[in-house]
Structure 1
Amino acid sequence: MRKTLLLLTALSFNLLYALGQDTPQHDKAYTGPLNKVIGEAGNDTGFDMAPETTPKVVAAAVSSIKTKMPVGPFQPNWESLKANYKVPEWYKGAKFGLCMHWGLYSVPAYHNEWYEKHMYTDGGIGAWHAQHFGEQDKFGYKDFIPMFSAEKFDPEAWADLIQKSGARFFMPACQHHDGFALWDSQVTPFNAKQMGPKRDLIGELCKAVRKRGLKFGFTNHQIENFQFINPPQAMLDKMKAEQADLFDPKWASFYNVADRSDEACRKFLVGWFERNVELIDKYQPDMLWFDNGVDQRYLDPLKLMVAAYYYNSARKWGKEVSLNTKKAAFAPSGVNTATIGSVLDFEGKTPPGIRTGTWDVDTEIGSTWGYTSDMRVSNASAIVGRLIDIVSKNGTMMLNLSPKADGTIPQEQQQTLLGVGKWLAVNGDAVYDTHNWITFAEGGQDAPKIYFTVKGDALYAIILGKWPGESVTITSLAQDKAPEGKVTSVTMLGSKEKLKFTQEVAGLKINLPVAAPCDIAYTLKITGLKMNPATTTASGSPMN
C-alpha cells in the first residue's frame, strides 16, 4: 500500500516539475481574470513563507517517510481528494468559532507574535530586546521557554468561556512560526510537556472543550519555521564564533539557522509530516488548519500525503473532518474557487460580496494575534458586526484569542466574548445553520444597515447599529422587488410582541417592539416568501 501511495505521489509531482529540478520554484503570479467580489485569488508570490527549497528536496523528503499510511479511499493525489472529499456537515452550519495564538511570544508580549523574527535585528525591536532581556547571544528566544510557565492555565475555565461565547468549535495554535509545540510530543523535544509549563496544553484543552460538546481542532504554522529567522550578518558571525544561541548545537534544530542545507531542509520537511501525523493520531482533530507556508505548488506531494493520512484516519474514527487552508494551497488549478479537499480560509479580509460554498475568515479580537501588553481589544459590538457581515455573505467567522503567558485570558477579551455570547443567545437562530439570501445587505449612511440570512423558509433581517425607533422599512422587500409569496408573519427574536407590517412600494414597513430585546443588533424573522435554497456544495468551492 505504501509503495503504491508513494508512486502516485511521485507521478502527481512529476506532472508539475521536471525530474532533477534543483532550484527553488515559486508559483508564478496568476494572470487570468479573477472575480474579486467573491474573493477569488491565487497564491501570493510575494508572501508565501514556504521553505526556500526545491522540488528535488521535497521529493527526497517524501521518499524517505517511513510512516505507514492508514487504509482508506484517499490517496495522495488531487483526483482522489476530489472524488472522496466532502465538507463536514457540522462545519457548514457552525458559522462561529474561536482560534488562539499562545506561545513563547506571549512572554515578552511586545510588538506581535512574530517577536522571534524581529528580535534578531539591529535597532528597533532588536534593541528593545537587548535593553529588556540582554544581548541576543546571551538571551535568545529559547530563553523565553522557562518563562512560559502557564501557571494559571485552567482548561475547564477556558472551555466554559468558549461555550458561553456561543462558539461551536475551538482551534488553538498547536505551534506557531517558532516551532515550539504545545502538546506532549515524541517527535520534537521542544514541547510544552518537556519544557516550560511541563503540561500537554493541547491535550488538556481538547478534553475540556469536547466535554462540552464542541468541536476541537488546531492551527499549525510550523512549516514557516525553517527560514523564519534572518539576522544581520554581523550578529550571525558573532554567534557562530561563540557557538551561542542560534549556533548552540543543543538548539540548532529549534532555530533552523545554523544549517539550511538541502539535507537539513529534507529532515525539516519529514519532521513537519511526522508532527502532523502525531497530532492527528493523538487528538483526532475535527479540523486541521495550515498557514501560508503550505501554499506553494512544489510542496504539493508532501501536503497531499498529510491530507490522505488525515482523511483515511478520520474514516476509521467515523468522523467528518476537514483541512482548512488559504489562497490556492489546495487548488492545483491556481485559483481558490477550485479548491480540492479543504475549506478555504481568508485571513482578516472578508470578500466584498456573496461567496457560495463553504469558507471562513480568521480575524483578531485585538490589534495583534498574540498577546501584547498594549494591545487594543475590540468590543462585542464590533465583533458582532464583523460576524453578521461574514455570515450574510455565506461565511464562517473564526475569532482569535490572545492569552497571556501565565495562562489567563485577559478580562477585556473575556468581556468581549461574553458580550458576543449574550447576543447570540438571543439572535443565534439568524446565524447558526443559515446561508446567504439573494443580497447580503442594504442601507447604511442615512438608512439603517440591514443584513440578511436564510434558514429554511425564513428570511432574517439583522438591523445593525442603534435601535431604529418605532419602525423600519426593508427596501429589498418592496412590492416590486420581493421574492414570490406573501409575507405572513414578522417577529423579532427575543421579543414576544406581534409585529404589524405593510408591504408598500417603498418596502416592507414593520412596526417594531416598544423595547429592544437586546443590544448591538436586532433580528427580524420574516416568513411567507419563497427563499433561495442552501448554497453549500460538497466540495466547499462556490457553485458554478
Structure 2
Amino acid sequence: MRHLLSLGLVLLMTSGLFAQKDVYKANWESLSAHNEAPEWFSDAKFGIYFHWGVYSVPAYYSEWYPYFMYRDNKVKEHHIKTYGELSEFNYHDFVPMFKGKQFDAEEWAQLFKDAGAKFAGPCSQHHDGFAMWDSKVNPWNSKDKGPKKDITGLLSKAVKERDMKFIATFHHARNLQRHEGNPDKFATYHSHFAHVPGTATASTDKKIAKMYGNIPADEFNEYWFDQLKEVIDQYSPDIIWFDVWLRMIPLEYRQQFAAYYLNEAKKKDQEVIIAYKQAAIPNTVGVLDIEQGGKRDQSESVWLTDITLSNKSWSYIEGQTYKTPQMVVRNMIDVWSKNGVVLLNVSPTADGVINQEQRDILKRIGEWMKKYDEAVYETRPYSINGFGNAKAEEGDHGGQTAKVKYTAKDARFLKSKDGKYIYLFILGKPAPGTVISTKELGVHKYYPEEGIKKITHMGTDTTCEWGFGDINFELTVPDAEMDDIANVFRMELN
C-alpha cells in the first residue's frame, strides 16, 4: 500500500498537478506586486555591457551604420565606395566578416569584475536583427553565423561564475519596418532599415526579410516576444534591459513578456529587474533608465543610467576617442548620490578585441573602486546629495549630461546602510591644508549626540581635523596622498 501511495504521488507530480502556478498575470496591477528594484541592485552601483555585433565590421560612423547605409548620406556614400552598390553588397553580407576570433568570455568577464562591476553582459540584440545567442527562433544568430559562438551563453556562464549578476540588453523592438503600409515611406525614424526596392531590405525571401524586419507587424510582435523567451529560458538573466523603442511594441506583448519573465524568475527564486526608458512600462514594474545622463536631483526610487566609455559612438569605430577615468568616476559618484546605478558601455572590435586604451581606463576605474569599495557598494543616499558649483548641461535624453566637468570644489554624499557612517566624496584632488566648508553638515553642531565623532581620509587612513564655524561645517584636508580621480572622507557618527 505504501508503495502504491508513493507511486501515486510521483504520478501526480509528473502530471503537473503540483506544478507551481504563475504568480503574475499579464496586467500592470498584478505585475506591480513584484519588487521592481531589489536590494542587490541598490547595493551593486555599477555594471558593464558592450555594443558588439555585425555593425562592428564596417567600424564607421556608429552602430547605426545599417540605418544610414540605406538612406542618402555620407554613410551610404562610404558604403558604396568601400563595398559596392547596395544592389550587390547589403548589410547581411557583413555577417560572414563578423568572426570575433579573439573573443574570450572568461577574460572579458574578469576584466569587467576587475573594473568593479557587479553585473555585466552583452547587447544581446541591437536594432539590426542579429541575435548574439544560440537561437532557434532567429536564423541570424552568433552560434550559426559569424563568430559561430553562443556569445550570450558564454558570457552568462563566465559572469555568474564570478559572482556577478547577468544583464542582457535588447534593442530589437526597432527592427520592424514601420512604413505604415506604404513601402515607399522608408525614411520613417522608427524603422531601422529603410525599405529600398532592389536591395535586401525589400526582399521577399523569408529568411532575409526576417533580418530586415520586412514582415507583417503581428508576425514581428510574436517574433519579438519569442526571442525574449528564448533568452530567459536558456540564460536566466538577472536584468533585462530595453532601449526606448519598447514603446512601439503593443501593450499586450509588453505585459505578456513581463509576466513570463517574472514568473520564470519566481520559479528559480531569482530577484530580477526590467529596465526601460521613458514611459514604456510603469515605474512600479521596472527601473527607469536615462541614457547618457542622469537626474538633476535626488530620487526616492532607484534608477539607472547607461553611458559610454567612448565619445563618438556606442560601438567601436575607427578613430574612436574615450573619456578619462576622472570624468567617468566623478559622474558615477553624482549618479550614486542621487540613488542611481550606472551601466557603462565598452566597444570591442569586430575581431573581439577590447583595445588597450579602454582596458587602461577600466583598470584605473577598478583601482579606485577597490580603494573606496566601502563607500560605494551597499551604501545609500544621504539626506542631501552634495554641493559645489560645476555646471551640468542638459542631457540629450533627459536630465543632465554624463560629461559634467567636476572639480575638487564639488562634493557628493553617501551613507552606510546601518547609518553609522557618512561618506563625503570630493570630486577631484584637493590640496593639503584646503578647508572644505559647507552648511549642509552644519546641523551636526546642534545635535552632538547624533553628530560626527571622527573623520578619516580613506585610502591613507589619515585622521582629519574638523570643526564648526557659525553655521558651516569645516574640514581641513590632511597632508596625505590625494587620489587624482576623487577622494573620500569617512565620517563616523556617534
TM-score range, shorter chain: 0.7 to 0.9
How far off its partner does 1:348 sit? Answer: 1.1
Partner of 1:452: 413
Partner of 1:469: 432
- Mapped pair 1:306 → 2:257: yes
Find the residue that maps to 1:98 and give its secondary structure. Answer: strand
Q: Residues 84-143 of structure 1, C-alpha deviation per residue, up to 9 Å, x if partnerless?
A: 344222112111111211111111111111110100122421111100111111110001
- Among 343, 361, 364, the residue aligned to 1:398: 343
How far off its partner does 1:477 sit? Answer: 4.6
Equivalent residues in 2 for 1:134-145, closer than 5 Å: 134-145=84-95
Find the residue that maps to 1:382 and give its secondary structure. Answer: helix
Equivalent residues in 2 for 1:331-350, closer than 5 Å: 331=282, 339-350=283-294
How far off its partner does 1:396 sit? Answer: 0.5
Q: Contact conserved, 1:448 with 1:468, CA < 8 A, in 2? A: no
Partner of 1:328: 279
Find the residue that maps to 1:320 and give its secondary structure. Answer: coil
Partner of 1:167: 117
What code does the residue aligned with 1:433 have?
Answer: E
- Among 203, 207, 212, the residue aligned to 1:247: 203
Partner of 1:442: 387
- Mapped pair 1:156 → 2:106: yes
- Mapped pair 1:372 → 2:372: no
Q: Residues 197-217 of structure 1, C-alpha deviation per residue, up to 9 Å, x if partnerless?
A: 111011111111111111112
Q: Contact conserved, 1:442 with 1:476, CA < 8 A, in 2? A: no
**Closer/same/farther in 2, CA of residues 355 and 304 from structure 1, 3 Å limit:** same
Between the aligned partners of 1:413 and 1:306, the Cα distance in structure 2 is: 35
What code does the residue aligned with 1:307 have?
Answer: A
Partner of 1:219: 169
Between the aligned partners of 1:237 and 1:350, the Cα distance in structure 2 is: 38
Q: Contact conserved, 2:429 with 2:487, CA < 8 A, in 1? A: no
**Closer/same/farther in 2, CA of residues 199 and 480 from structure 1, 3 Å limit:** closer
How far off its partner does 1:482 sit? Answer: 5.9
Report 1 or 2 for greater relative contact order, CA contacts < 8 Å, sequence distance ≥ 6. 1
Q: Contact conserved, 2:444 with 2:452, CA < 8 A, in 1? A: no
User: What do you get for the CA RMSD once the two structures are aligned?
Assistant: 2.2
Partner of 2:182: none
Between the aligned partners of 2:460 and 2:241, the Cα distance in structure 1 is: 39
How far off its partner does 1:448 sit? Answer: 1.6
How far off its partner does 1:493 sit? Answer: 1.0
Between the aligned partners of 2:97 and 2:445, the Cα distance in structure 1 is: 61
Q: Contact conserved, 1:138 with 1:245, CA < 8 A, in 2? A: no
Find the residue that maps to 1:444 and give its secondary structure. Answer: coil
Q: Residues 500-535 of structure 1, C-alpha deviation per residue, up to 9 Å, x if partnerless?
A: 222222533223332225331100011226xxxxxx
How far off its partner does 1:236 sit? Answer: 5.7
Gaps of 5+ in 1: 1-68, 332-338, 530-544
Between the aligned partners of 1:483 and 1:172, the Cα distance in structure 2 is: 51
Between the aligned partners of 2:423 and 2:387, the Cα distance in structure 1 is: 13
Between the aligned partners of 1:236 and 1:84, the Cα distance in structure 2 is: 41
Partner of 2:302: 358
Q: Contact conserved, 2:444 with 2:451, CA < 8 A, in 1? A: no
Between the aligned partners of 2:141 and 2:445, the Cα distance in structure 1 is: 58
Find the residue that maps to 2:134 and give its secondary structure. Answer: coil
- Among 248, 251, 275, the residue aligned to 2:227: 275
Q: Contact conserved, 1:286 with 1:322, CA < 8 A, in 2? A: yes
Q: Contact conserved, 1:448 with 1:465, CA < 8 A, in 2? A: yes
Equivalent residues in 2 for 1:385-534, closer than 5 Å: 385-444=330-389, 448-455=409-416, 456-477=419-440, 479-480=442-443, 484=447, 485-505=450-470, 507-528=472-493
Q: Contact conserved, 1:459 with 1:526, CA < 8 A, in 2? A: yes
Q: Contact conserved, 1:99 with 1:170, CA < 8 A, in 2? A: yes
What code does the residue aligned with 1:513 have?
Answer: P
Q: Contact conserved, 1:516 with 1:522, CA < 8 A, in 2? A: no
Find the residue that maps to 1:490 and give its secondary structure. Answer: strand
- Among 213, 231, 236, the residue aligned to 1:256: 213
Q: Contact conserved, 1:493 with 1:517, CA < 8 A, in 2? A: no
Equivalent residues in 2 for 1:23-34, closer than 5 Å: none
How far off its partner does 1:426 sit? Answer: 1.0
What code does the residue aligned with 1:388 have?
Answer: I
- Mapped pair 1:381 → 2:326: yes
Partner of 1:24: none
Q: Contact conserved, 1:70 with 1:313, CA < 8 A, in 2? A: no
Find the residue that maps to 1:391 and give its secondary structure. Answer: helix
How far off its partner does 1:480 sit? Answer: 4.9
Gaps of 5+ in 2: 1-18, 180-184, 189-193, 391-406
Q: Contact conserved, 1:176 with 1:222, CA < 8 A, in 2? A: yes
Between the aligned partners of 2:51 and 2:149, the Cα distance in structure 1 is: 17
TM-score scaled to structure 2, two decimals?
0.85
Find the residue that maps to 1:505 and give its secondary structure. Answer: coil
Between the aligned partners of 2:32 and 2:38, the Cα distance in structure 1 is: 14
What code does the residue aligned with 2:227 have?
Answer: R
What code does the residue aligned with 1:503 have?
Answer: F
Between the aligned partners of 1:423 and 1:245, the Cα distance in structure 2 is: 47
Between the aligned partners of 1:224 and 1:70, the Cα distance in structure 2 is: 35
Partner of 2:238: 286
| Number of residue equivalences | 444
How far off its partner does 1:431 sit? Answer: 1.6
Partner of 1:193: 143
How far off its partner does 1:473 sit? Answer: 2.0
Between the aligned partners of 1:238 and 1:479, the Cα distance in structure 2 is: 69
TM-score scaled to structure 1, two decimals?
0.78
**Closer/same/farther in 2, CA of residues 341 and 70 from structure 1, 3 Å limit:** farther
Between the aligned partners of 2:39 and 2:436, the Cα distance in structure 1 is: 35
Between the aligned partners of 2:466 and 2:264, the Cα distance in structure 1 is: 54
**Closer/same/farther in 2, CA of residues 394 and 151 from structure 1, 3 Å limit:** same
- Mapped pair 1:84 → 2:34: yes
Between the aligned partners of 1:384 and 1:479, the Cα distance in structure 2 is: 27
- Mapped pair 1:103 → 2:60: no
What code does the residue aligned with 2:352 have?
Answer: G
What code does the residue aligned with 2:420 have?
Answer: D
Find the residue that maps to 2:66 and give its secondary structure. Answer: helix
Q: Residues 32-68 of structure 1, C-alpha deviation per residue, up to 9 Å, x if partnerless?
A: xxxxxxxxxxxxxxxxxxxxxxxxxxxxxxxxxxxxx
